[in-house]
Chain A
Amino acid sequence: MAILQMQRIMIYSLKKNRKAILETLQRRGVMEVCDLDMNDGVFFKEDTDSQQSSYLKNSSVAAQALSTVEEYVPTEKSVFSSIEGRKPLSKESYYTYVDEVNEIMRVAYEVLGASKKISDAKAEITKQEAIMESLVPWRELDIPLNYKGTKKTAVFVGTFPAEKSYEEICTQLKLQLSEEVDFNIEVISSSPQLTCLVAMCHTDYKEQLYNALRKEGFSNPVVETHLVPAKKAKRAENIIKEANNVIEKNIKYIKSFRGMKDAFAFVEDYFVLRSEKYQVIKNLANTKHAFVLCGYIPKRDAGKLAATLSTKYDAYVELEDVCDDDTPIKLHNNKFSEPVESVLKTYSMPKHTEVDPTSIMAIFYYVFFGMMFSDAGYGLVMSLACGWALHHFKNMEEGFKKSVKMFFYCGISTMFWGIMFGSFFGDAVSVICQTFFHLEPSQIPQIPGITSALWFNPVVEPMQMLMFSFLLGIIHLFTGLAIQAYMHIRDGHFRYAVYDVFSWYLLVGGGILALLSLDMMKDMAGFVLPPVFLNIGGICAAIGAVIILIFAGRESKNPVKRFLKGAYGLYGATGYLSDILSYSRLLALGLATGVIAQVFNQIGSMLGDSIIAAILFTVIFVVGHGLNIGINALGAYVHTNRLQFVEFFGKFYEGGGKEFKPFRINTKHYNIKEEI
């Protein structure tokens, strides 16, 4: 439970060491670089946009080359490839690759060239196929499609957009032309949408015939060529064949680079690294021979880095404790609560004035998740799956690993509550015993926690579970208030802790005491406090209410305003009521998990006892419980988050801190990490 102390770090060094220093910083990944605004004549800034963009271009060329090779020679990926994480890369192989970067880039460009040839050839094939398609109706024609005639004859080759017979065309044309015009029509082919024909006449009547044809809807053929259609089609066929050859050859060529995939992946990463380094250089203040670098570093890492920089690169390092709104926030927690940090992050990082609630939140988080999921079998499945993943994929990404760890602990808690409430895949054990071993309910082996509840069964005693949920809720809310009190007292405002926290303890706690001593609670809660608690509780609540009424509006000087604000503060009691009732979801979701599990068991057992029934039972069991795990784990996760964010954080937490984002290696394929 801590926010790490940050230090502001200034590094002064000679320019000749700049590259080495930046590489060290990037590898260590412990420092956030901030912009140093020192453009004052002595210092100047370097503009690195052009280098950065050229690096990024190289990186994307390598990425494209990689995906091209991947397209033709796919790598076999396991189902779990997405959680495997990046491959680690040793320092030696890093430098071997670096020596070959130019060569790899040359190959990458060749791969892209080959890929372009393939796509060009594919486009050509489409084009030629379209030509061949449109030549089909002209197959019978033995003159070129753009034939215009001889010296004395005019020839029109073209189409009508409808089916027309020879006679139809002749009569239509004759109607439009004068008697002396002599023409000849030859229909090449005819289909419902298209009639292909050749018309000819003496050159003297060329215009007349053409106009007449146009009136009937005549138009020139789509394909223009000086070749006879059959020849043109043949040529197109040849071009396609050739293009196919080109494609085949280039695919083979690309496939020959299958061994280069790792290299392309490396180069993609390498240029991203360099580009990020140049992004940092933009933030430096330079003189002709020296530079200044400024940033934030957690205090625990500062000494070591400073020592390395000053001994190895003759740098002068200045460190200074800082704690203001601009300081980035880095959290530090023990192994048990660290995984829940990611949940806190999805809400907001704490401000530097606040406490890090992770470790307290973690306990409630695991407990609530377990109660909502509350099945020993499901918890076992979840913990085993997470444990297996953690054991097998050691290179998992840091953030993802945290989530897996969190669900591992949640699974353990789920197991615990499952045993407490006596649920193991619902009532699987007794259903199987009854259906397949024909045991009477009394003969079923009694395993506490598996067939019977170790504590109580919420399906049988829902009211007790509801009371327990409310109790946990009250503890949760009061813990939130306690953190607020702690912050007030830490800041030296003991009074505020009394006004804002202890008043509510009195009001809510007193109210609950009084409520529990009412007779009507006997049926609901199963117990009732002696009547004296009604008085004690009432007095406590009254004191609390008065404190809130007087002090909730203490910022206002105007007494009327102050009183009204106090009254409004008192109205916040309704908020506490709804907050506490909100914890009933612990019961509802717990029941949902347990009862749905029983539903599937019962459906499976309906078929009676036979081999086929046993197989069907297994199928229904696996699918049904799988479904139930999926939907209820999601529900438990979402609603545990809600209880933390709305009910718990609402009592003390504001957030709004800036997350610490160190300058580090941000690669896609390889994890280059070692101490230099």
Chain B
Amino acid sequence: MMDLGLFFAVLGAAFATFFAGIGSAIGVGKAGVAAAGVLTEDPSKFGKVLIFQLLPATQGIYGLLVAFLILSNVGILGEPKDVTLLQGLLYFASSLPIAFAGLFSAIHQGKCSVAGIGTVAKKPDQMGKAIILPAMVETYAILALLISILSVFGVANVNM
């Protein structure tokens, strides 16, 4: 049963990177297409549109973060530890918030970024406002990250 616990923990790490990563890839990809379009007209806006493209990139990093925390807690990285089945399942459950909130928030943040790029293309001075709107979407990824991190920390301290 020890092995199964480890399996679920690694599955959790995989979920976190996998789904949040997909979301970020889609979001960044969408924003990148729009950014490239703006650059054909005005290459000097590169710095501005790049920021918009990077906004949906964070979910993937949050996923990586949670995955890394799980891996180091169960001893895949660093010293090996014993993981019970229950602990493994708990780690798996901990990864779910960032996996799915990350997936969907990154996609929608990407859409929002595309719109923001459109705003900046026409009104470069409205950058500050345009950047806040995609940042609103990110809130939910942050909340998910928070719960995932707190859960991972909590599971590590649970003795089972």
Contact = CB atoms under 8 A, between A and B. Distances in A.
Interface of A: 343, 345-347, 462-463, 466, 581-582, 584-585, 587-589, 591-592, 595-596, 599, 602, 631, 634-635, 638-639, 641-642, 645-646
B33 interface: no
A439 B77 CA distance: 20
B65 A346 contact: no
A360 to B, nearest CB: 19
B54 A588 contact: no
Contacts of A584: 142-143, 146
Given A584-B143, A596-B61, A638 B55 contact: yes
Nearest to B77: A602
Contacts, number: 75
Contact of B146 (A346, A588, A641, A642): A588
A303 B62 CA distance: 57
Nearest to B131: A638
A595 B143 CA distance: 17
A459 to B, nearest CB: 8
Contacts of B129: 346-347
Contacts of A642: 132, 135-136, 139
B55 A462 contact: no
A641 B57 CA distance: 19
Contact of A595 (B58, B69, B139): B69
B132 A635 contact: no
A591 B149 CA distance: 9
30 contacts: A343-B128, A346-B127, A347-B128, A462-B149, A462-B150, A466-B146, A581-B143, A582-B139, A584-B146, A585-B139, A585-B142, A587-B146, A588-B142, A588-B143, A588-B145, A591-B65, A591-B149, A592-B61, A592-B145, A595-B68, A595-B69, A602-B77, A631-B58, A634-B55, A638-B138, A642-B132, A642-B135, A642-B136, A645-B132, A646-B132
B103 interface: no
A591 B69 CA distance: 11
Given A346-B129, A639-B135, A602 B149 contact: no
A599 B135 contact: no
B132 A462 contact: no
A638 B135 contact: yes
Contact of B128 (A346, A466, A587): A346
Contact of B54 (A466, A631, A646): A631
Interface of B: 51, 54-55, 57-58, 61-62, 64-65, 68-69, 72, 77-78, 126-129, 131-132, 135-136, 138-139, 142-143, 145-146, 149-150, 153
Nearest to B47: A82
Nearest to A346: B128
Contacts of B78: 602
Contact of B62 (A346, A462, A592): A592
Contacts of B77: 602
A584 B144 CA distance: 11
A186 B135 CA distance: 76
Given A591-B65, A595-B69, A631-B61, 16 more contacts: A462-B153, A463-B150, A466-B150, A581-B143, A582-B139, A585-B142, A588-B143, A588-B146, A592-B145, A595-B65, A631-B57, A638-B55, A638-B131, A641-B131, A642-B139, A645-B132
| Among A347, A631, A635, residue most surrounded by chain B Cβ atoms (within 10 Å) | A635
Contacts of B150: 462-463, 466
A346 B69 CA distance: 37
B132 A638 contact: yes
A521 to B, nearest CB: 16
Nearest to A635: B58
A108 B58 CA distance: 50
A585 B140 CA distance: 10
Contacts of A343: 128
A463 B147 CA distance: 11
A599 B66 CA distance: 11
A599 B65 contact: yes
A460 B125 CA distance: 42
A596 B131 contact: no
Contacts of A466: 146, 150
A493 to B, nearest CB: 31
| Among A592, A596, A634, residue most surrounded by chain B Cβ atoms (within 10 Å) | A592
A634 B51 contact: yes
Contacts of A588: 142-143, 145-146, 149
Nearest to B136: A642
Nearest to B141: A588
A584 B62 CA distance: 15
B71 to A, nearest CB: 10
A634 B131 CA distance: 11
Contact of A602 (B55, B72, B135, B143): B72
Contacts of B72: 602
Contacts of A591: 65, 149
A634 B145 CA distance: 17
B132 A599 contact: no
A422 to B, nearest CB: 17
A591 B129 CA distance: 26
Contacts of A582: 139
